[in-house]
Amino acid sequence: MTSTPSTSAKTNRLNGGQVIIRTLKKTGIKTIFCLSGTAHTHLLFAAQDEKFRIVSGRHETATVAAADGYARVSGKVGVALIKADQGLPNALTGIITANLACSPVVVIVSLTPENTLEADGAGDNDQLHLAKGICKWARTVPTADRLAEFVDTALRHATSGRPGVAVLGVPQQFEGAAVEYIEQAKEEHLAPVRSGPSAESIAQAVSLIANAKRPLIVAGTGAALSGAGATLRHLARTYKLPVFGGNLGRGLVPEDLKLGFSWPLAQVAAKDADVVLFVGTRLSQRLGYGLAPRFAADAKFIQIDVEAKEIGRNRAVDVAIASDAKLALDALSAALAAKNYAGVGEPAWVNKAMEVRMARIDELGRGDAAPIHPYRMGRDLMAQMPENAIYVGDGADIQNWMHAILRIKSERAFMDHYPLGSMGIGTPLALGAAAASREIAEDTGEAERPVVLVTGDGSFGFYCAELNGAALAGLKIVCLMSNDGGWGTEKHGQMNAMGRHINCELGQCDYHLIAHTFGLKGERIEKPEDIAPAIRRAFAADQTTVLNVITDPAAGIVRKQDPRVQTIAFEDIVSSQKKHYTPAIA
């Protein structure tokens, strides 16, 4: 039994933990993520009283990553609770990952009371100093009676403009302090102010598209966050404009290889486009920085981004549209209709550019003999994965293999560790995605969207204890692990360059037994014919299943040597693009 103050109709006095939870609740958040400890005791009891679900974590980066996965799927703010001292240093990778992925996440950090800090102690008196360079916003609540104000502000910063991570420091004693709180009359779902495009920029974009012979749209996370999916599908279907999706932008236009494509697979065609419209995506490494040879040097670029400073990164653009993605695409769609734009017909040029790549991919992994090729695992998964499934990718070589086979067909259905590339984080991302899927199902009355995690044996080892959180919370994840017994990308990189390798072996361990440790299901699979039945069992199960698929340890050398199967080139920097990417394949 707790001694915390209860709500009073006369005084409206609550403890600080109750204030925080009620401020979060009015935005529609119903799930929070927390690594256990005494730091947030009052807040956690308040969450329980308000019927929040609390998903437990085993590492602070994973706790933040789970909140990140929840945010990417639900569209709500993900909330992670951690402790400052040891917790904040542990959480840095999760914070960086979520911030770079533009995920709206609030990390509430319990701070050591200031009166216990020494003038010359081992730690910094600014307890948030580690986070300030890697997140969007970081502040410490100065007094308990301003908790609601600071939580509201953190939520606003996490969701406004380009979303990101807000880190809120709360002195530990504030959560138990009695404060006045004025209850809101109704829920206030976050509705960030959106800026629209100028008429001039839309007119310029329409002119370029109308005169293009091979127009291309590249859609990223910003398009998904703005809710631009319906407009993108309209543009693609009405005007036969091909859309290459990346990151959370995958699936906004279903990847049917007719109008919808994934960037990793279809990027070999990008060099043939004469006008490229970028929607909510940065001209970063995965896009070849927008430079030749990934894109034609004389291609015309249109870029839509809510963050003006992102426009023209690494390459000048011809039309800059600093705007919310949906508002800009709506305006563009209306202007194209007013101009009676008819499009240029089916985009056969994309598939033509992909012919050699697709033929090579189709050759590999077709046999029934062991060892299992990763393509076999991918094909068997795609044959059974529902179109509304949420796919979480992790690892290195297996990510590359899966990009060739994977087809995302729905919105908010793809995530991985990019752009930071911190392997292992897929497991907690999947945990958060499953929590969001359950919450959405409860809100809508629809069935839960299944969550699929495909990972490597190396990446699985980072945060495999987060399966404990899935077990405790009753969350279901279908996990397929490609176990080639080593750090495949590093091993084959060394083999390709040096003819030998060192410090890359892991051994083909029984990782499925980790699932058993937490009371979950797990199977070891060594024969190709056993993959499909195991996947069926995993989808039919009522809890998380880990399928430990023993894959060919020699397969990865092909990825290093054959550019036709390189959907991700880790060596891809400006100075080596011509060698490693968009090769001239006869």
Classify burial at 161, counting beta carbons within 10 Å of its beta carbon; exposed 0-12, middle 13-18, buried 19 or more.
Answer: middle
In a domain, 7, yes or no: no
CA–CA gap between residue 250 and residue 224 (Å, rounded): 8
- DSSP for 554-573? TTHHHHHH-GGG-SS-TT--
Spell out the residues 6+ positions from residue 223 whose beta carbon is closer than 8 angstroms to its own: 229, 232, 249, 252, 279, 280, 281, 325, 326, 329
- The mean pLDDT of the chain is 92
Together in a domain, 343 and 289 = yes
Contact 217, 304 (CB under 8 A): no
Buried b / exposed e across 389-402, counting CB within 10 Å, b at 16+?
bbbbbbbbbbbbbb
In a domain, 192, yes or no: no
In a domain, 1, yes or no: no
Q: 188 pLDDT band (50/70/90 cuts)? A: low
Together in a domain, 415 and 534 = yes
Together in a domain, 480 and 542 = yes
Spell out the residues 6+ positions from residue 247 whose beta carbon is closer than 8 angstroms to its own: 101, 220, 221, 281, 414, 415, 416, 418, 419
Query: Is 306's pLDDT higher than 70?
Result: yes
State pLDDT tens for residues 357-391.
Answer: 999 999 999 989 999 999 999 999 999 999 999 99
Higher per-residue confidence, 583 vs 289 = 289
Together in a domain, 542 and 441 = yes
pLDDT at residue 36, rounded to an integer: 79
Arithmetic mean of pLDDT, 122-138 = 88
Q: 342 pLDDT band (50/70/90 cuts)? A: very high
- DSSP for 153-185? HHHHHHHSSS--EEEEEEEGGGGGSEEE----S
Arithmetic mean of pLDDT, 189-217 = 92
Contact 273, 250 (CB under 8 A): no
In a domain, 295, yes or no: yes
Together in a domain, 553 and 469 = yes
Query: Is 134's pLDDT higher than 90?
Result: yes
Spell out the residues 6+ positions from residue 504 whose beta carbon is closer than 8 angstroms to its own: 486, 487, 488, 490, 491, 494
State pLDDT tens for residues 478-519.
Answer: 999 999 999 998 999 899 889 999 999 999 899 999 999 999
pLDDT at residue 293, rounded to an integer: 87
Together in a domain, 434 and 568 = yes
Query: Is 187's pLDDT higher than 90?
Result: no
Together in a domain, 339 and 487 = no
Domain boundary (351, 380, 406) is at: 351
Arithmetic mean of pLDDT, 152-177 = 96
Structural domain boundaries enclosing 531:
364-580
How far lies 282's CA from each of 198, 306, 402, 505, in Å?
Answer: 21, 11, 23, 35
Together in a domain, 328 and 206 = yes
pLDDT at residue 263, rounded to an integer: 97
Domain boundary (116, 145, 180) is at: 180
Together in a domain, 522 and 400 = yes
In a domain, 356, yes or no: no
Higher per-residue confidence, 251 vs 497 = 251
Per cent of the chain over pLDDT 90 is 84
Q: 568 pLDDT band (50/70/90 cuts)? A: confident
pLDDT at residue 186, rounded to an integer: 52
pLDDT at residue 199, rounded to an integer: 97
Contact 313, 284 (CB under 8 A): yes
User: What tokens appear for 25 in the block?
Assistant: 């609740």
Together in a domain, 148 and 250 = no
Arithmetic mean of pLDDT, 385-398 = 97
In a domain, 286, yes or no: yes
In a domain, 459, yes or no: yes
In a domain, 8, yes or no: no
Q: 114 pLDDT band (50/70/90 cuts)? A: confident
CA–CA gap between residue 160 and residue 114 (Å, rounded): 31
CA–CA gap between residue 227 and residue 107 (Å, rounded): 24
CA–CA gap between residue 117 and residue 325 (Å, rounded): 46
CA–CA gap between residue 267 and residue 287 (Å, rounded): 8
Residue 86's φ and ψ, nearest 5 degrees, are -80, -25
Contact 373, 555 (CB under 8 A): yes
Q: 192 pLDDT band (50/70/90 cuts)? A: confident
CATH code of residue 482: 3.40.50.970
Domain boundary (299, 318, 351) is at: 351
How many separate domains does the chain show? 3
Query: Is 130's pLDDT higher than 90?
Result: yes
CA–CA gap between residue 128 and residue 323 (Å, rounded): 32
- DSSP for 393-437? E-SSHHHHHHHHH----STT-EE-STTTT-TTTHHHHHHHHHHHH
Amino acid in position 488: G
Together in a domain, 333 and 372 = no
Angle at 318 between CA 312 and CA 322, to 5 degrees: 55
Q: 239 pLDDT band (50/70/90 cuts)? A: very high
pLDDT at residue 171, rounded to an integer: 95
Contact 560, 496 (CB under 8 A): yes
Q: How many CB atoms lie within 10 A of CB 362?
A: 11
Q: 584 pLDDT band (50/70/90 cuts)? A: very low
Contact 251, 245 (CB under 8 A): yes
CATH code of residue 274: 3.40.50.1220
Q: What is the DSSP letter of 369?
A: S
State pLDDT tens for residues 36-95.
Answer: 776 899 999 999 999 999 999 999 999 999 999 999 999 999 999 999 989 999 999 999
State pLDDT tens for residues 258-288.
Answer: 999 999 999 999 999 999 999 999 998 889 8
Arithmetic mean of pLDDT, 143-161 = 96
User: What tokens appear for 473 in the block?
Assistant: 């919370």
Together in a domain, 232 and 172 = no
CA–CA gap between residue 106 and residue 68 (Å, rounded): 9
Angle, in degrees to the nearest 10, between helices 325-338 and 199-210: 60
